[in-house]
Chains A and B, each alone.
Chain A
Amino acid sequence: MARIELQNLAHSYVANPAGGKDYALKPMTHVWEQGGAYALLGPSGCGKTTLLNIISGLLTPSDGRVLFDGKDVTNLPTEARNIAQVFQFPVVYDTMTVYENLAFPLRNRGLRGAAVDARVREIADLLDLTPDLKRRGRGLTADAKQKISLGRGLVRPDVAAILFDEPLTVIDPHLKWELRSKLKALHRALDLTMIYVTHDQTEALTFADKVVVMHDGGVVQIGRPDELFAKPAHVFVGHFIGSPGMNVLPAEVSGRHARIGAHVIALARGYPHLNGEAKIEIGVRPEFATLAPAGAGVPVRVKRVDDLGRLRIAKVELSGLPMAATVPETLHVSGDEASLLFDPSMIHVYANGSLVEGEAA
């Protein structure tokens, strides 16, 4: 069992951090529930691996505490925590057989004989490694090696959480999907907390129940994949998730209207308490901005239409600001004059990048 709590956790690789810039991980407080499948999603350098290494104990945080089931483990070494970690590059002990690899963590913890054998065979069976048990680690394919790395974590009966650090980076594309499904199946079969670091949104969205989006050392949103899509808490989430990402346009918002240049767009909610100093933007995903013939909605100039196979995306300009919109199947685009129809409930207002909750009238 592991319910992971992070209390005011922060980390700096600099000895005496002066300001926010010195922190690889900005202060955060979160609770991750036992048995959840979490994905840490963010671009390279956003601090997701740092956070993972702090949870696994490979790194001691400079500030704050880590609690497993209410027990402070901040200063416990990694071998004393009931976690396992799978790394980007598969770690396999070359000179040992697959069987010995799987037995290694158990033998290191003093287990011997039948107990080890039963557990190794059970896990090998779970990971489809049984036919390879007698083979040496060397010469196995990358995906088999990665399964062994995972197996060395699963084999320990004390393990309650498994951490993955971009585990599919070196796996062939056609095997990635298979291995990801395997992970998902394992998560369902075993009562384990899984934390999965990745910069690939598809991987994160298909693997996790909850996606933790990180940006610049901080967590910007934790939510289910559909929440991240429908209601990004930060413009970064809007950009990073979805393809193409959310349109973010500077606008003047007053009451239930957003004004962009000479055009006014209706909003579903009211925003009476906006901070006058803040940079106000509206965000709308291309999926909720539909191209229509000129005159039907807000006038735009069409620059280009891209056929993505499943749907068509138009690159348009609204008052000179570039944005993307969906082209309905029935619409035939001719000339560069057109207009946009918005779904008002899917237009979000951001102040300095963060979502502002509107008031329903």
Chain B
Amino acid sequence: MDKPVNQGAWLLVLPVVLIVAFSAIVPLMTVVNYSVQDTFGNNQFFWNGIGWYQELLDPTTELGGRFFDALWRNLLFSALILSIEVPLGIAVALSMPREGWRVAATLVILALPLLIPWNVVGTIWQIFAREDIGLLGWVVNRLGIPYNYTADPLSAWVTIVVMDVWHWTSLVALLCYAGLRSIPDAFYQAARIDGASRWAIFRNIQLPKMHRVLLIAVLLRFMDSFMIYTEPFVVTGGGPGNSTTFVSIDLVKLALGQFDLGKAAALSIVYNLVILAVCWVFYTVMTRMDAGRS
């Protein structure tokens, strides 16, 4: 008699299951395991239940205070760079040439910052913005504007925001450019015949066509900026004080500096859930907006 179901098919899924298990599930479970225990070294672990989570989510405790401060800094940073990079990226994409050799030249120039490794970007700006030998820092100070990212929190913030804008606006611009290129000429010709103003063309033709790529750009930039570590670590090391200590930097301090594995593991899990939750909200809101238009 024929078997309607062939259980042997499970074997075909096995390699993927193994890879995912070893690359994601096992490490994640290890972290979960740490987050419910305490250790004083010697590989001795003690059960702590949800203790670390309670401490972490209570802003009145030392750990909770650190976490929420860093979290607000992260959110502020993401909000700042999104509000700069998205409009700027759109503006750059709109002013890019549509044909000729200049297209290739512009694309290469725009792609350059994206190809530089994070820590190199950090190092470049760390030197570039120094008040004594950095071109930017020196010029700004000579113009009479006090600027010192190692001593002044505002300077430090300006530096990392500008650095991120320099590094990542290209990504938004390139994505938007791809969206713009998908618009047939007939749309522009029809708009001219309809007597549409520049703004009306942007509002009714270009923006709707860029809508999908903008969703991707916002999601990518949000996730990336929310997890930012390398550049501020290289430039400011989280300082001055704790003014540029983001969650990821704090996490490393906690896990590798203080060797508080339990606290760090709980922080990792919560950090991960926050990113997932915010991305889900972004995605849902933006796809709802999309659906609402049709």
Q: What residues make up the interface of A, taking CB atoms closer than 8 Å to B? A: 56, 58, 77-79, 83-85, 87-89, 91, 93-96, 104-105, 108-109, 136, 138-139, 149, 152-153
Contacts and interface: CB of A to CB of B under 8 A. Distances in A.
B193 A78 contact: yes
B197 interface: yes
Given A87-B186, A91-B190, A149-B190, 9 more contacts: A58-B192, A78-B189, A78-B192, A84-B193, A87-B190, A96-B204, A108-B194, A138-B294, A152-B194
A149 B189 CA distance: 12
B205 interface: yes
19 contacts: A58-B192, A77-B192, A79-B193, A79-B194, A79-B195, A85-B190, A85-B193, A87-B189, A87-B190, A88-B186, A91-B186, A93-B204, A93-B205, A94-B293, A95-B208, A104-B196, A104-B204, A105-B195, A139-B294
A108 B196 contact: yes
Residue among A78, A93, A136, A149 having the largest count of chain B Cβ atoms under 10 Å: A93
Contacts, number: 57
Contacts of A93: 204-205, 208
B72 interface: no
B192 to A, nearest CB: 5
Interface residues of B, number: 17
Contacts of A138: 293-294
- The 7 A-B pairs at the shortest CB distance, nearest first, are namely A91-B190, A108-B195, A87-B186, A105-B194, A79-B195, A138-B294, A93-B204
Given A136-B293, A138-B294, A91 B192 contact: no
A83 B197 CA distance: 18
A136 B184 CA distance: 20
A182 to B, nearest CB: 20
B195 A91 contact: no
B187 interface: yes
A77 B189 CA distance: 11
A89 B186 contact: yes
A105 B195 CA distance: 6
Interface in B253-294: 293-294
A56 B194 CA distance: 12
B50 interface: no
Contact of B200 (A78, A94, A108, A139): A108
A239 B256 CA distance: 84
A93 B187 CA distance: 9
Contacts of A153: 193
B294 A91 contact: no
Nearest to B192: A78
B194 A136 contact: no
Contacts of B190: 85, 87, 91, 149, 152
A83 B204 contact: no
A236 to B, nearest CB: 29
A91 B187 contact: yes
Given A94-B208, A95-B208, A108-B197, A89 B184 contact: yes
A58 B189 contact: yes
Contacts of B186: 87-89, 91
Contacts of B187: 91
Interface string B177-207: 0000000101101101111110010001100
